[in-house]
Each structure stands twice: as structure tokens, then as C-alpha cells.
């Protein structure tokens, strides 16, 4: 298994949040730093990690590293 670190940003188009292309990072710290940089120009950003087993194509539940700004409701069962 390996860990993937993903940063997903969103832009507000009208009243709808639209996802940008996701970005990858090499570590949790890098993912959080990139999310913080993107936050200045995006409506919302979330960084998360996920354990991935490439051999069986299985993914564990994502672990949120940081949330910034406005995000779609229910994203990763957000409370």
C-alpha cells in the first residue's frame, strides 16, 4: 500500500462550486502548503490523504488534512 496526497480546489461559477483538476503532493506537509497557497485565489480548497493498494485497486477512506473556504456540502461526510 502507498499513500496518496491530493489537493482539490473549487471555483465559484455563479452560485455553483466547480471542481478544478486535482493536484498531487509528495507529503502531507506539501499538500497542506499547496492548499494554503491555492486558497488565496480559489473559493475553497481541501487537502486529503488516502491509502491506495494498486495491486487490488482498493482505496481506504480519505483522511482530511485541511479544509479552507467554501466547499461543496457533504464533501467527505463533512459535518
Which pLDDT score is estimated for 38?
A: 97
Rounded CA-CA distance 71/10 in Å is: 7
- Which is it for strands 2-13 and 16-19: parallel, antiparallel or unpaired? antiparallel
| H runs (alpha helix) in 7-73 | 28-38
**Nearest CA to 61 among 70, 69, 52?**
52
Which pLDDT score is estimated for 54?
A: 87
Rounded CA-CA distance 11/13 in Å is: 6
pTM: 0.89
Per-residue pLDDT of the chain (79 residues; tens, 9 = 90+): 899 999 999 999 999 999 999 999 999 999 999 999 999 999 999 999 999 988 898 999 999 999 999 999 888 775 4
Amino acid at each position: 500500500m502507498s499513500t496518496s496526497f491530493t489537493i482539490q480546489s473549487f471555483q465559484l461559477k455563479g452560485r455553483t462550486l466547480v471542481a478544478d483538476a486535482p493536484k498531487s503532493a509528495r507529503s502531507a506537509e506539501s499538500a497542506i502548503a499547496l492548499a494554503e497557497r491555492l486558497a488565496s485565489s480559489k473559493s475553497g480548497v481541501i487537502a486529503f490523504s488516502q491509502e491506495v493498494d494498486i495491486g487490488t485497486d482498493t482505496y481506504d477512506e480519505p483522511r482530511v488534512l485541511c479544509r479552507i473556504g467554501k466547499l461543496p456540502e457533504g464533501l467527505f461526510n463533512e459535518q
